[in-house]
Amino acid sequence: MTLTVNDLRVHYRTLRGEVRALDGVGFDLADGEILGLAGESGCGKTTLGKSLIRLDGRMRHAGGTVTLDGDELPLSDDRAMNAYRFHKISLVPQYSMSALNPTRRIGRMIRELLASRGVSVDTGELHRRLALVGLDPDVLERYPIELSGGMKQRAVMVISTLLDPSVLIADEVTSALDVSNQQAVVGALRGLRDKGLVTSMIFVTHDLGLTSHIADSIMVMYAGKLAEKAPTKVLTTEPRHPYTKMLIGSLPQVGARYKDKPLSGIEGSPPSLLNPPAGCRFRDRCPLADSRCAEEPPVVEVAPRHSVACWKAA
Amino acid sequence: MRRYFARKLLIYALTFVAAVTVNWMIPRFMPGDPVAAMVARARVSQPEAAEAMRSYYNNLFGFDEPLWQQYLHFWGALLQGDFGISIFVFPTPVGDVLLDALPYTLGLMIPSVLLSWFVGNWIGALSARRKVLDNTVLPVGYLLTAMPYMWIAVILAWAFGANAGWFPISGGYSLDITPGWSTAFVLDALHHWVLPFLSLFLVALGGWAIGMRNMIIYELESDYSSYLAALGAPQRLIRRYAFRNAVLPQVTGLALQLGVLVAGALVTEIVFAYPGLGSLILASIQNQDFFLLQGAFLFIVIGVLIANFLIDIVYVVVDPRTRTGMAGGTS
């Protein structure tokens, strides 16, 4: 087991109180697994991705543990986490387009970054990895502004995986790309895993359709909690949680005519996480909700590797 | 690259022409008549004699020509390095008067501008994200930058000159020494230089420190800083990058501030009766000395333009993004 997350709670400190963005999430990530992390904006998926590598100034580790390759990660100790960052756990950020220092040539930035981590650059290996994502070695002599958005994204992918991390967090990496670039990026990410440059991967996205192309299993989150986690095929064909069902139902299909049957969305919006209501957090929007849902549903393994947090799923 | 600089030079040339034209216009459209003042100073009682003097001076300074001809003559003379003859210290050529004053102004301006910029950036960068230092640098910086030049000059003159008696409070050198390259004179001039320098230095220092502090915080919050931090890069590297990028707007700020800094230097010179361009400008306005005023403004315009051009070059060297813009870009 590469990564074990147990009841992780991360809160945002705000002037009005603590926002419970991540309110007790647990899951396992196996060796070689690509986990798709899906959900709408504000469900806590990015917070989860960030918590695993670096809490920013507003975030507070409120409870739970994360174990990586047998070591418990010191999440709230920024200095101690440095030993794990980049070497063991790495990140392709949401903001890849602006992740590179604009006034340094990319090659020089890589050299300085690696030197600061006490690693020397293997130029041949670096060139080989650039070629793997379809980049010319001469991007190393360029400034970020001279690269297109897609090229910057791929350069960041190469940099983030240079030290062969155990876990790579790819946070919304495809959000800003067009469809053909999305395919290229997804293909490149899977290539990194297949060649063993990255052991396992967490692919954070709001695009359930795209996730199903890359992920081995998918975890759907809702309002800071796990809703459903299952192997990709199971989750897309026989979802159990009403939220997952509605999420899949609201995906447009190519070639379908929506004139007769309008595309259904999910009515309403998620609850505020400043003071979340007790019980199932989806119940205000759920068509199946009844009195039992006022009680919080536990995460139950309904089938092997298929967990659901819903009273109606069993 | 060549095209870029050619275009820049053209812009500077146009600015120069416009500035010189305005310089020429301002004193001429100022109320008052300098020749009348000179005649009055001569205290001639006979009207004919006064009239003769008036026409002599008008002819000498070219005021009897139509304005457009005066303008053309002015350019012709200017291009030959002839700024005319001073009315205030008649009959010394304006060029000589200005060249005597120039070293004092440059000696005051260049060190105070550069030192305040470097030291201010350094203090600002140090204080960003360090609570204790920040809590002192910020208020002190605001206090300094909010002080008018002449006010801080007066305070310094009062504290270190009049009260403590450490430094002389007026003049560029002692009256009993002849200006020259002797050790005694240089030391004496330095002694007189300290207070005007300090007042310019301190006011500018606060502004640069605050600007740099804010820029560094902005850069430390930027995406490339978070990315480096997520990859576990040490603070040293992140701060180095942030500093490098935060300096860029400060370089631009220096170019924008130059005019203000020059104005500050002029006021400071007047407070300390420092024998530079500022004191000359004051004297030439009081005496309606067109030529001296024009000449002094011209020197300032040339100085600011040269400084701006140098900053343009520096910017191209330090920011790769401007270079790609010139080459047409490849992305």
Does the residue B244 lie in any domain? yes
Residue that wins the pLDDT comparison between A33 and B47: A33
In a mutagenesis test of the B interface, which of A84, A92, A111, A116 is the best target, namely the one with the most B β-carbons within 10 Å? A116
Along chain A (314 residues), what's the average pLDDT of each consecutive run of 10 residues?
Answer: 89 91 91 92 89 89 91 90 92 90 93 92 92 91 89 92 93 83 86 92 89 92 92 91 88 72 77 86 87 89 90 80
B330 band by pLDDT with thresholds 50, 70 and 90: very low
To the nearest whole Å, the CA of A42 is away from the closest chain B CA by: 20
CATH number of residue B273's parent domain? 1.10.3720
Is B331 near chain A, with CB under 8 Å? yes
Q: Is the pLDDT confidence value at B331 over 70?
A: no
Token pair of B149 as six digits: 């030049």
Nearest chain B residue to A55 by CA: give it. B230
Is B322 near chain A, with CB under 8 Å? no
What's the ipTM? 0.90
Residue that wins the pLDDT comparison between B47 and A133: A133
Q: Is the pLDDT confidence value at B329 over 50?
A: no
Same domain, A265 and A180: yes
Same domain, A67 and A120: no
Over range B132-149, report the average pLDDT: 88
Q: Is the pLDDT confidence value at B322 over 80?
A: no
Residues 170-229 of B with CB under 8 A from A: 222-224, 226-229
Handedness of CA A214, A227, A178, A53 (dihedral sign): negative
Half-sphere exposure for B35 (CA within 13 Å, toward CB): 16
Over range B150-178, report the average pLDDT: 85
Report pLDDT digits (tens) over A82-113: 999 999 999 999 888 899 999 999 999 999 99
pLDDT at B326: 58
pLDDT at B132: 86
Residue from the list B224, B319, B320 with its beta carbon closest to the beta carbon of A98: B224
Cβ within 8 Å, pair A146-B329: yes
Same domain, A226 and A297: yes
Report chain B residues whose CB lies below 8 A from the CB of A113: 228, 231, 233, 237
Does the residue A301 lie in any domain? yes
Same domain, A235 and A137: no
- What lies within 8 Å, CB to CB, of A162 at 6+ separation is A110, A114, A126, A129
Domain end: A116, A134, A164, which one?
A: A164
The Cα–Cα gap between B238 and B243 comes to 9
Q: Is the pLDDT confidence value at B94 over 60?
A: yes
Same domain, A287 and A149: no
Is A100 near chain B, with CB under 8 Å? yes
> How many structural domains compose chain A?
2
B210 band by pLDDT with thresholds 50, 70 and 90: very high
Same domain, A242 and A119: no
pLDDT at B328: 46
Residue from the list A99, A103, A117 with its beta carbon closest to the beta carbon of B227: A99
Task: State the DSSP H helix or E strand holding residue A232, giving kind and residue range, or none if neither.
Answer: helix A232-237
Across the beta sheet with A306-308, what order do the strands follow?
A: A89-92, A167-171, A200-204, A34-38, A217-222, A225-231, A306-308, A300-303
Q: Which of B38-52, B55-69, B256-270 has the highest mean pLDDT?
A: B256-270
Looking at residue A181, its amino acid is N
Share of chain B above pLDDT 90, in %: 21
To the nearest whole Å, the CA of A311 is away from the closest chain B CA by: 39
Domain end: A164, A182, A215, which one?
A: A164
Nearest chain A residue to B248 by CA: give it. A103
The Cα–Cα gap between A75 and B249 comes to 36
In a mutagenesis test of the A interface, which of B227, B239, B317, B318 is the best target, namely the one with the most A β-carbons within 10 Å? B227
What integer best gives the mean pLDDT of chain B? 85
Token pair of B182 as six digits: 């002797």
Report chain B residues whose CB lies below 8 A from the CB of A95: 223, 226-227
Same domain, A77 and A157: no
> How many structural domains compose chain B?
1
Contact, B227 vs A99, CB < 8 A?
A: yes
Same domain, A271 and A133: no
Of A61-70, A171-180, B23-32, B158-167, give the lowest mean pLDDT range.
B23-32
Range of the domain at A102: 95-164
The Cα–Cα gap between A173 and A214 comes to 13
Same domain, A24 and A107: no
Is B235 near chain A, with CB under 8 Å? no
* A to B CB pairs, distance under 8 Å: 86
B327 band by pLDDT with thresholds 50, 70 and 90: low
CATH number of residue A273's parent domain? 3.40.50.300
pLDDT at A260: 67
Report chain A residues whose CB lies below 8 A from the CB of B231: 85-86, 90-91, 113, 117, 159-160
Does the residue A174 lie in any domain? yes
To the nearest whole Å, the CA of B319 is away from the closest chain A CA by: 6
Phi, psi torsion values for B276, nearest 5 degrees:
-105, -165
